[in-house]
Structure 1
Amino acid sequence: MTKDQIVKRLEEIIETINKAQDDVTSGLIQDLSFMDKDVAQVCGDIIKLEPKDAAAVQPIMADMISRLEGLAQSLQSFKETFNQSE
């Protein structure tokens, strides 16, 4: 993949994360099992880039990671709230 293709894919993944975050806020949980494979594929493609291009992708990659961490925290909070209500 080219740098631009990777950036586009990262933007798509971020969009999916944002939608999942909105859903969790609304009390809905999506099946995100496919995300592991998608993220691993993009990471593998980034490793193949020239160092200059890989550095250019770093900010959006960091944004994606931050959003994934936020989603993980939201899912954990949802789980704890759900378990308390049982």
Structure 2
Amino acid sequence: MSAPSLAAVASLLEQAAAELRAADAATSTAPVGEQPPRDAWTPRETAERLGIPYDTVLGLIRSGQLSAQRAGRYYVVPDAEIHRYLGTKKSA
């Protein structure tokens, strides 16, 4: 059995690289270097987005005016809940 030629190996490598790039492009939802859209926020991030103090966000969560999910001992505020609280709809 003879060894494959250098051109044949290079062709196979290029084909494999093209398949990997195509597979990566098919699974990627955000451009390189950008984060995908967020679905939930910490109370501190929520406070920053709403422009209100962190303690106020915690108070809204505890009073039920702002819904949040528990993640262990932490709260996570869904993005849709922030939009509901503000009275706006999230654009798709």
TM-score relative to the length of structure 1: 0.31
Hey, which of these two has a bigger chunk of helix by percent? 1
TM-score (norm 2): 0.29
Return the structure number with greater strand share: 2
